Structure 1
Amino acid sequence: MLQEAELSIDDGAQESKNMKFAIKTFCKSGRARVGLLQLTTLGNKEIIEIETPALLLTTRKGLPAFIPPDHLPFLPSPDSRLLHFSPMHFMECPDLKTISKIGGVHRLLGLQGYGFVAVPRDSILSLPECNSSNKNGASFETPCGRFLVKPLEYMKMISSMKPDLWVSLADEVHASVTVKRNKVSVDRTITWLDTCISLKPRDGVLFGSIVGGCNVEERTRCAQEVAKRNVSGYYIGGFGLGDSIDERSTYLHAVTDSLPKEKPRQVCGLGLPEEVLQGIAAGIDLFDSTYIYHLTLEGFALIFPLNNDKCTQDPQLCPMASDYTKINLKATVYRKDTSRIVEGCTCYTCQNHTKAYINHLLNVHEMLAQILLEIHNTHHYLSFFRLIREAITEGKFEEFRQKFIQNRRGHLLAASPITFELESPVR
């Protein structure tokens, strides 16, 4: 339970009854923090307690792309019990009346004990298309085509799907837009937030969206305006849309400086380990990332050391198949490799299968390959978040961050240039 000395949310809103958040530890030299998120799921009123910083598992229509429901229990719990989805995934079918009649996404998917977080945008199936957005609504590119979603339509989706936590509609723009267009996006996002607040359902927790592109003043203005509203947390959008990782810290700090410390912050668009560490250093609590999805899709498995020690260059790791942070299990070097992906890893995949078997599955295009890979990659990345929380608690976050980035940079530089040709954009 939350201790009296901790900061907690109690703004008198109905939705705060379904969520409590408390800061357990602040980093002594920085903004990184460890918190505890208590979420009462609307599926069965079960309380999920998750320590932050935490990862929301990316899904397609509510489920991880390659992990069926009966395999979800193989993931670390409760760390894996927050699922991110976009309502836009359901634009084609089933219709909203059917979802509402069934009882929302929890009962539709049979996952009453999981927390569902609804965000309009993701980086797989629902991409913001700012050139087609207008004052009436936000435009999204989906596999079913381009859709203009108005605030009223969006709220009908939320009311029907009944997510535990949901983000207000935002006009997210690319980093290359003009100053005028960026300002308009902030104005629209604030207006739409007010509409979402006025139409919000009785249950569910609302996070207010913050945008502002690559402009410190607009980011600050949007954050200050959203902080005045009756919301339980904040969604920081507009990243991963052409912005530079070198300049991102400035924008993140501008936002978090303008937000109350006692409420949780979620960000979209930061997926690589370095980007996650960058966000945590700015005081971000929740991350939704497609990093695991893209790794799995391309046949990669995470192998970077979880003790943050320098990775020794295993002679069995072929430079063409590995950069010492991940390995390409499609490579022929693993055809007869009977070892586990990571020795000592406790995930289902490493406990039961070898690199040779997954290599075989990948090369015969058997979907079980992606299932086993996503289980391992998710388990490994959740363990990475656990180590981050431990480092913050011990007052060693900056040391952990710098050492991790330095080691990873060294591994990438040591890898053969051929590796990068094989990897496509996955880093």
Structure 2
Amino acid sequence: MEFVVRTWSAGARLGSMQLAAGVQMETPTLLLLTRKGLPAFIPPDLLQNLHPDARACQVSPLHFLDSPSASIVETAGGLHKFVSMTGFGMVALARDSLMDESNGEASSKLGAAFETTSGRRVVGPAKYMEIVNACKPDLWVSLPDEVPTWAAEKRNRLSVDRTLQWLDHCLSLQPAERGNRCLGVVVGSASLDERIRSAEQTATRNVVGFSLGGFGLGEDASQRALQMDAVIAKLPKEKLRHTSGLGLPEEVLQAVEAGVDVFDSIYPFMLTKGGYAMTFPLNMENSPGNLDTQPSASELAYIGSDSAKMNLRSVAYRLDKSPLVVGCKCYTCQRHTRAYIHHLINTHEMLSQTLLEIHNTYHYLEFFKAIRDAIKADKFLAFRNWFTSTRKETRVHSPASKSPTLVLH
């Protein structure tokens, strides 16, 4: 893996990342969320032409604990060949949806506990690296021990010590012939001192980049900004920086301003599952000029939509012949209408999720492209200020009640 920083704008940086699979991408960029190496609803043939930036995927090694097993993937020649995605980059990382709130003493020598399809499993560095080495990813993130912000000081300190020990163990199990492809995890939860210690110690290891762990686990935005700035100040500027758990556009912009290069996010997937299409504006020049001509917040709330997303389940779109977003060049918007997708959703057709995920993934990749364009033009701060001003919380009155309802974009 090769990474080069090209230019900066207000803390944000534009880079170029070359993966071992021959995939070259500009950063900041998004890794596509996958289940066992493939996006949830988009088939590989459509993924090939979805978007020029749809070339790298995030995969969890935990998906290969049971079926299919790591030995099956290894026999197939690695994950790229197993899922027929040889032209794509694969980044392996494990992150748990349920954090262990115990003191962690009992399992400290065994590994981290993860929620899997076969129940809660403890995975140690040896098992983790067995799966990673079988998958042969372009990059892999070391095994983390992440704890939420409410974890006790003792538990948090143990988390940092354990993550560093596991990093050393994982590095010792990395095949020498495949080269160094490890991103070391930086943890520390709510403690600024522990995050700094974790960053300083991880920076001394032989890694190609860093994964900022423990975010999106209960911290507030101002706390996150302080911690990110402090951690990144301790990391080498020439190495790649990745983070998990930050999916909302505002969170992405905050991390980009701090200097993060690569993201993975469940945001497009969750909107797709809910029957929503992304609609938020993407550049300052083409943003709506006269807000008086736009639907009011109360009108949007009545149909379950807002200025950032559209609820395609609503009967309001039953006869709407418009594309999801006027001017969008994705496969869905070029070929289908809101009315058709509304029909597919309400008749429980699987095609609805495929078409929605294509649009939502395309729209979100366009958001990252807009960020890179703003950095190139040295207008990132202006772009962030404009974007967040269009996404402020709006208080509206629900049609069924006189009490105000908070609509979050």
Matched residue type, 1:265 = R
Q: Does 1:117 align with 2:96?
A: no
One of 277, 285, 289 as aligned partner of 2:265: 289
Matched residue type, 2:51 = P
**For each residue in 1:84-109, what CA deviation from the matched residue of structure 2 results, as whole angstroms up to 9, or x when unmatched?**
01011122211221111111111110
One of 36, 59, 74 as aligned partner of 1:61: 36
TM-score norm. by structure 1 comes to 0.88
Secondary structure at the aligned position of 2:369 is classed as: helix
CA contact (8 A) 1:128 1:141 kept: no
1:279 corresponds to which residue? 255
| Alpha-carbon distance in 2 for matches of 1:270, 1:283 | 14
1:338 corresponds to which residue? 321
Q: Does 1:378 align with 2:361?
A: yes
Larger deviation: 354-363 or 234-243? 234-243
CA contact (8 A) 1:128 1:138 kept: no
Distance 1:416 1:285, change over 3 A: farther
Matched residue type, 2:6 = K
2:168 corresponds to which residue? 194
**For each residue in 1:297-356, what CA deviation from the matched residue of structure 2 results, as whole angstroms up to 9, or x when unmatched?**
001101111123357453497432321111100000001101101111100000000000
**For each residue in 1:365-390, what CA deviation from the matched residue of structure 2 results, as whole angstroms up to 9, or x when unmatched?**
11100100010011111111111111
Question: After superposition, where does 1:112-261 map in structure 2 within 5 Å?
Answer: 112-121=86-95, 127-129=98-100, 131=102, 133-201=107-175, 202-203=177-178, 205-261=181-237
Distance 1:330 1:145, change over 3 A: same
Secondary structure at the aligned position of 2:41 is classed as: coil
1:298 corresponds to which residue? 274
1:391 corresponds to which residue? 374
- CA drift of 1:48 comes to 1.1
2:71 corresponds to which residue? 97
**For each residue in 1:200-236, what CA deviation from the matched residue of structure 2 results, as whole angstroms up to 9, or x when unmatched?**
1232611001100011110000000000000000011
Q: Does 1:73 align with 2:48?
A: yes
Matched residue type, 1:263 = K
Secondary structure at the aligned position of 2:228 is classed as: helix
Matched residue type, 2:313 = K
2:389 corresponds to which residue? 406
CA contact (8 A) 1:210 1:236 kept: yes
Secondary structure at the aligned position of 1:146 is classed as: strand
CA contact (8 A) 1:130 1:172 kept: no
Q: Does 1:23 align with 2:5?
A: yes
Distance 1:425 1:105, change over 3 A: farther
| Alpha-carbon distance in 2 for matches of 1:21, 1:293 | 28
Q: Does 1:38 align with 2:18?
A: yes
| Alpha-carbon distance in 1 for matches of 2:356, 2:109 | 43
- CA drift of 1:130 comes to 5.1
CA contact (8 A) 2:394 2:407 kept: no
Matched residue type, 2:364 = Y
| Alpha-carbon distance in 2 for matches of 1:50, 1:120 | 23
Structure 1 stretches lacking a partner, 5+ long = 1-18, 42-46
| Alpha-carbon distance in 2 for matches of 1:417, 1:383 | 32
Distance 1:424 1:140, change over 3 A: farther
Secondary structure at the aligned position of 2:91 is classed as: strand
Q: Does 1:327 align with 2:303?
A: no
TM-score norm. by structure 2 comes to 0.92
Could you say what the CA RMSD is over the residues aligned between the two structures, in angstroms?
Answer: 2.1
| Alpha-carbon distance in 1 for matches of 2:90, 2:183 | 13
| Alpha-carbon distance in 2 for matches of 1:141, 1:416 | 40
| Alpha-carbon distance in 1 for matches of 2:17, 2:346 | 41
- CA drift of 1:161 comes to 1.0
| Alpha-carbon distance in 1 for matches of 2:406, 2:384 | 26
Matched residue type, 1:383 = E
CA contact (8 A) 2:74 2:135 kept: yes
CA contact (8 A) 2:320 2:338 kept: yes
Larger deviation: 309-318 or 235-244? 309-318
| Alpha-carbon distance in 2 for matches of 1:426, 1:149 | 37
- CA drift of 1:197 comes to 0.9
Matched residue type, 1:86 = S
- CA drift of 1:135 comes to 3.2
- CA drift of 1:129 comes to 3.2
Aligned residues: 394
CA contact (8 A) 1:35 1:285 kept: yes
Question: After superposition, where does 1:42-53 map in structure 2 within 5 Å?
Answer: 47-53=22-28
Matched residue type, 2:100 = E
Larger deviation: 318-327 or 165-174? 318-327
Matched residue type, 1:229 = R
